[in-house]
Amino acid sequence: MSQSCHKVKKGSGTLTNEQMFEMYMKGDKKAREQLILKNINLVRHIANKYYVLFEVDNYKDFDLEDLIQIGTIGLIKAIEKYDPSMGNKFSTYAVIWIKQTIRRALEGHEETLSLDEKINNEGEEDNLTFIDMLKDKSFIIDEELEKKEFKSEVWAALKEKLTEQELEFIKLKFVYGLTENSIAERMGMTNKEFRNFKSRLKNNLRTKVRKLKVIYRHWIDENTFYVKAVDYSKPKVQTSFTTSTVELTVMKRELLREKLREIIKNTPPEKLGEIMRNTPMI
């Protein structure tokens, strides 16, 4: 979304998201309200996307308005945690928080965790808490190992009953996030052929695809140590910008995924197989 979509008029000039955020940090509470209202369409856009992606019309506990409200909570969190010194536009940062907040609610992770809550399994002697985990460098992820474990977990669940064509469809749609038009083109299908292909898959693939989405999102959450709680290890200063290691990791992975999608999008069809074989999942 272009920067011009995020400007509002004030007198004879305009204010960007970043300028309004600066006003809020200087004590202008109305600037915060304007920032929320100005970005509510961004929340609606993302909520609509997840409403379709997760087939929320089949859910008993969620509807579109619920997703919009949940996404607005993510937007508010983005306002409270945004750090302009990191060099990212506010809209880029807000999208990450909105997506994560909606996604976690849909996947049943909506409960708030305390940093003092013990994370050990029942019966274990060590009283490790989330705050201990965040401080302990021994919890740094071995990314290559995690990628291998993730691949094994996903494809063990799907590979036995799916054809290569079906696996390719899942990778393109749910791992790389391509649009269906792009997928049809890369799979060498006409629109009619692709519609027929999806129709044939609908009944036997729905459960497997939903399982893949949950596994994939759960893996991303686990590997970024996302904790929905205030980081009390840092002082909250109104004029100071602080970003936790957890947030930086989330940002890094989100930006890497976006970069990977762009690479795949611009890759000639004949090179796609090679890319998919040699590129680790992000």
Q: Is the pLDDT of residue 21 over 90?
A: yes
**Least confidently predicted of 94-98, 192-196, 245-249:** 245-249
What pairs with residue 13 in β-bridges? 10
The more confidently predicted of residues 127 and 176 is 176
Q: What amino acid occupies position 167?
A: L
Q: Is the pLDDT of residue 169 over 60?
A: yes
Q: How far is CA 62 from the centre of its chain?
A: 19
* Tokens 């990191």 sit on residue: 86
* Residue 256: Cβ within 10 Å count: 11
Helix (H) or strand (E) holding 8: strand 8-10
Query: What pLDDT, on the 0 to 100 scale, is given for residue 140?
Result: 38
Residues 188-210 have pLDDT tens digits of 999 889 888 888 776 555 555 55
Model confidence at 26, in pLDDT bands (50, 70, 90)? very high
Percent share of the chain, pLDDT over 90? 9
Model confidence at 260, in pLDDT bands (50, 70, 90)? low
What pairs with residue 274 in β-bridges? none
Structurally, at CATH architecture level, domain 3-106 sits in Up-down Bundle (1.20)
What pairs with residue 10 in β-bridges? 13
Predicted TM-score (pTM) above 0.75:
no
The more confidently predicted of residues 91 and 204 is 91
For range 121-138, the mean pLDDT: 45
Q: DSSP characters for 48-65?
A: HHHHHHTTGGG-SS--HH
Q: Are 66 and 192 in contact (CB under 8 A)?
A: no
The top-scoring range by mean pLDDT among 58-72, 107-121, 126-140 is 58-72
Say which residues have a Cβ less than 8 Å from residue 157's Cβ, sequence separation at least 6. 208, 211, 212, 215
User: Tokens in use for 233?
Assistant: 């290890």
**Alpha-carbon span 193 to 198, nearest angstrom:** 9
Alpha helices in 141-233 (DSSP H): 143-158, 164-170, 180-186, 191-224
Domains in the chain: boundaries: 3-106, 130-278
